């Protein structure tokens, strides 16, 4: 493949590189040599420098009901450097530092033009298609799907320019990769979706990376009391670092957690954020809110069960809502979060409990499954 630019001819070649391939559900990932085709029109080929493991990767690998999306390259929290661009790409050039977006942004549809949402019609259309239609990754002659359209567990990946955002060249890629999903999701749920107010009381259910980021968002918004809820008390010290003021382990009580929080706060919290993906916890989070104005945000992901509550819990004035990626539009939101990190207004280093190579991805998975890590950042070679 060639690209004619200013009468110079640049030849693009297939790149052979290392990737962690999920060949089937609930099985260990396999380190393979894969082939990454050149970028086509409006596409960008990225060398992934660092990628982290998110619970959504585990959910897809072990719990999702859709088994048709294998083989796939997992990973959607990554950061890298543009290696080459296809025809029609004007926003990026080789050498740019970038973060892949699992929520692409065409910039032209009514959703992209609305400040009320971070949805995109092009993203919805692509979600309905088989992801191999846009994949440039193959292994042993078989097309590989890219999880959430990204596939950052590959040393190189190819994405449409709508799904890539350029970031400050001063940003350390092994830190800002966390902004590709978890940190923005939790932080934005508090700041963008719940719109936590100064002096308010909040409860955060689940203290993984998303929950800790939600705690950080509540603190940044000025909450005076932030109650961290988790069945693993080992996470309470970490939550304190991000701003939690109170800690509740549901296992320590013989009554519903919503009742415990009601009693602690004199009627309920102003805001609650469910960051686990458990429908029973979602209901508990809602019912922990004060009647009249309490707001509860569903942040954790699941598609296995329905969620329900009695109508009176909403009729009394509580609001139940949800968000995806913390309500951030990636093209604008991620660069702002990168700047906030560089300005020391947002923490990232504190989320990272382990650093590994991609060869150790199955070790990273076991750590996260067993609640022994918050975020593991992986490179394709030792630092």
pLDDT tens digit sequence for 298-315: 999 888 889 999 999 999
pLDDT of 139 strictly over 80: yes
The strands making up 145-146's β-sheet, listed across from edge to edge, are: 142-143, 137-139, 30-36, 15-22, 72-73, 145-146
Closest CA relative to residue 296, chosen from 311, 317, 312, 310:
317
CATH numbers and ranges of domains, the chain: 15-31+45-180+348-379 (3.90.180.10), 185-324 (3.40.50.720)
Identify the band that residue 383 occupies on the pLDDT scale cut at 50, 70 and 90.
low
pLDDT of 118 strictly over 90: yes
What pLDDT sits at residue 131?
Answer: 59
Which range (132-136, 274-278, 350-354, 360-364) has the least confidence? Answer: 132-136
Query: Which of the pair, 2 or 375, is modelled with greater confidence?
Result: 375
What pLDDT sits at residue 6?
Answer: 40
Q: How far is CA 6 from CA 20, 54, 136, in A?
A: 38, 42, 26
**Do you find a cis peptide bond into 71, omega within 30 degrees of 0?**
yes
Average pLDDT over residues 335-346: 97
The Cα–Cα gap between 144 and 253 comes to 47
The Cα–Cα gap between 327 and 282 comes to 18
Which range (167-181, 274-288, 299-313, 326-340) has the least confidence? Answer: 299-313
Closest CA relative to residue 178, chosen from 64, 341, 61:
341
What pLDDT sits at residue 2?
Answer: 47
What pLDDT sits at residue 20?
Answer: 97
Average pLDDT over residues 3-19: 66
pLDDT of 4 strictly over 60: no
What pLDDT sits at residue 128?
Answer: 54
The Cα–Cα gap between 305 and 316 comes to 25
Query: Which of the pair, 3 or 24, is modelled with greater confidence?
Result: 24
Average pLDDT over residues 344-371: 96
Classify strands 142-143 and 137-139 as parallel, antiparallel or unpaired.
Answer: antiparallel
User: In sequence order, what DSSP letters do the residues of 18-46 get, joined into one string?
Assistant: EEEEE-STTS--EEEEEEEPPP-TTEEEE
What pLDDT sits at residue 129?
Answer: 54
Identify the band that residue 66 occupies on the pLDDT scale cut at 50, 70 and 90.
confident
At a CB cut-off of 8 Å and minimum separation 6, what does 172 contact? none
pTM of the model: 0.92
Identify the band that residue 10 occupies on the pLDDT scale cut at 50, 70 and 90.
very low
pLDDT tens digit sequence for 196-233: 999 999 999 999 999 999 999 999 999 999 999 999 99
pLDDT tens digit sequence for 244-266: 999 999 999 999 999 999 999 99
Average pLDDT of the chain is 92
Identify the band that residue 8 occupies on the pLDDT scale cut at 50, 70 and 90.
very low
């Amino acid at each position: 493949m060639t690209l004619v630019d200013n009468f110079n001819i640049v030849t693009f070649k297939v790149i052979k590189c290392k990737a962690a391939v999920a060949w089937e559900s609930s099985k260990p990932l396999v380190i393979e040599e894969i082939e990454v085709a050149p970028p086509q029109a409006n596409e960008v080929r990225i060398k992934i420098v660092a990628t982290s493991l998110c619970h959504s990767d585990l959910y897809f690998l072990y719990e999702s009901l859709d088994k048709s999306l294998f083989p796939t390259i997992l990973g959607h929290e990554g950061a890298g450097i543009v290696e080459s661009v296809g025809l029609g790409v004007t926003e990026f050039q080789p050498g740019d530092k970038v973060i892949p977006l699992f929520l692409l942004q065409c910039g032209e549809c009514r959703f992209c033009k609305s400040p009320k949402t971070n949805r995109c019609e092009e993203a919805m259309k692509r979600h309905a298609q088989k992801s191999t239609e846009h994949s440039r990754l193959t292994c042993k002659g078989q097309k590989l799907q890219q999880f959430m359209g990204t596939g950052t567990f590959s040393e190189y990946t190819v994405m449409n320019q709508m799904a890539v955002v350029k970031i400050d060249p001063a940003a350390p890629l092994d830190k800002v990769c966390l902004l590709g999903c978890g940190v923005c999701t939790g932080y934005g749920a508090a700041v963008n979706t719940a719109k936590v107010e100064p002096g308010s009381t909040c409860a955060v259910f689940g203290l993984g990376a998303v929950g800790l980021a939600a705690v950080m968002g509540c603190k940044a918004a000025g909450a005076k009391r932030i109650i961290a809820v988790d069945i693993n008390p080992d996470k309470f010290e970490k939550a304190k670092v991000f701003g939690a003021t109170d800690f509740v382990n549901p296992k320590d009580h013989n009554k519903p957690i919503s009742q415990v929080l009601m009693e602690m706060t004199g009627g309920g919290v102003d805001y609650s954020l469910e960051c686990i993906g458990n429908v029973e916890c979602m209901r508990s989070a809602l019912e922990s809110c004060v009647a009249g104005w309490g707001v509860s945000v569903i942040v954790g992901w699941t598609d296995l069960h329905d969620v329900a509550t009695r109508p009176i819990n909403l009729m009394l004035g509580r609001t139940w809502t949800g968000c995806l990626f913390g309500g951030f539009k990636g093209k604008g939101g991620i660069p702002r979060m990168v700047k906030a990190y560089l300005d020391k207004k947002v923490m990232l280093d504190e989320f990272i409990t382990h650093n590994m190579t991609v060869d150790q991805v199955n070790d990273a998975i076991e750590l996260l499954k067993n609640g022994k890590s918050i975020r593991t950042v992986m490179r394709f070679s030792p630092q």
